A and B are shown apart, each in its own frame.
Chain A
């Protein structure tokens, strides 16, 4: 005998077995995670939910009253597991068909979120196929950093943890901030594909099928996943969990305080930014005369040519503006969980910033012959 629940799936009400519900819920969460980078992700999953609801209605039209786990499994097979659904941002389906995990090159890693650590594939050892560093959510004491690292290196977790503590005790306390940085930067392995990548196993349909139906795929957020993980947590681990929750909360609070503290600095930088903006506009519009009237201090700097000073001011704006915008963006992202910046945009901004540094320096150097005057007057 099983407990049943009543669910609203895509607009229709169903009675569904408890275990069937959990499998279906898992599946839908996996879909959401899988599509998180697509625009219209919600719509896609909603459409799929409606389709599943249609299929369930058909099943029940024969007189059955409840959706069972067999029904859900059948529907999942029909709709397709997340890794079988090809999307543009996904690593190519050829990976799913790659039965021989001997690939030394990395086809799709570049377009993943670049916050994960550098990929060590191809460096020396042929056994490291598609290996990526993740944090392991299924076996974590604190953040899953050691566990993920152990999976990456193929070492025993406990050994690695002991090693970690030994180094720490021997006086190299820098290990703690390093651990925290890893905890923040290294992403958690959520989907089955990511977990397989963490261990360097081939991402094949069989492997994925195993991890999905074994319930290893992790729903996107919810601290309740501590309940879902297979091994019961020992007392020590429960203490660890509580610690992590508190630490996470404290971290968020610190971040908010940091943002508040930084905001006067950001404010000042903002003013500088706007000032440079005005300067650039003034130079562009009114030439050197407008510039001199705006900045009496700078009347010693005679531009070599109006063009170079325009260039210099634009470079100056980018020089200050890009880091400013980036900092604001990062802080807001932490506070409001925005989408991370696409890596293309990130690289573009970085290159633009480097170019502006170079340009600014060159232009400034070109006017360098007036510097002695500035020093004398100042």
Chain B
């Protein structure tokens, strides 16, 4: 039996939101992994940077993201990520779901 622990629950909630937030960020504009990491850290959605990479790979393997290699004068080439069309549709679904959840929670809280 796992002790109910507020940090536990918070962490689960954040984990559920990660993919959604990554896609939201990329929807706004394409980005490098390091940019995504920075924004997610600012939002306290991730604690360690390594969490991002398996997610990015999974999303890419599901065709929701794509990347291209961008050359740089300061170092080796880097992956520049953007949402695919399928990703945009997927994001639309997630947004609906988020809105519904939001309304449900508010409804329960206020009724």
A residues neighboring B (CB under 8 Å): 10-12, 31, 35, 38-40, 43-44, 47-48, 50-51, 53-54, 57, 77-81, 84-87, 93-94, 97-100, 102-103, 105
State the CA gap A77–B48 with chains docked (Å): 7
Between A and B, 10 residue pairs with Cβ closer than 8 Å are: A35-B54, A43-B57, A47-B53, A51-B33, A57-B74, A57-B75, A80-B47, A84-B50, A86-B15, A105-B1
From the candidates B2, B51, B61, B78, name the one contacting A94 in the complex (CB within 8 A): B2
- Say whether B51 contacts A86, CB under 8 Å: yes
State the CA gap A36–B1 with chains docked (Å): 28
Q: A11-B76, A98-B2 are in contact. Are A85 and B54 (CB under 8 A)?
A: yes
B residues neighboring A (CB under 8 Å): 1-3, 5, 7-8, 11, 15, 33-34, 37, 47-51, 53-54, 56-58, 60-61, 74-79
Residues of chain B contacted by A53 (CB below 8 angstroms): 75-76
Residues of chain B contacted by A97 (CB below 8 angstroms): 2, 5, 7-8, 11
- Say whether A50 contacts B3, CB under 8 Å: no
From the candidates B15, B48, B76, B78, name the one contacting A80 in the complex (CB within 8 A): B48
State the CA gap A180–B2 with chains docked (Å): 38
Q: A43-B57, A54-B75 are in contact. Are A103 and B50 (CB under 8 A)?
A: no
With CB as the reference atom, state the residue of chain B lying closest to A90.
Answer: B54
Q: Is the interface of B mostly helix, strand, loop or mixed?
A: helix
- Say whether B49 contacts A79, CB under 8 Å: yes
From the candidates A10, A31, A44, name the one contacting B57 in the complex (CB within 8 A): A44
Residues of chain B contacted by A77 (CB below 8 angstroms): 48
With CB as the reference atom, state the residue of chain A lying closest to B78.
Answer: A50
State the CA gap A50–B15 with chains docked (Å): 24
Instruction: Contacts A40-B58, A47-B56 known; list 14 others, CB within 8 Å.
Output: A11-B76, A38-B54, A40-B61, A44-B54, A47-B53, A48-B50, A48-B53, A51-B33, A84-B50, A86-B51, A86-B54, A94-B2, A97-B5, A99-B3
- Say whether A94 contacts B8, CB under 8 Å: yes
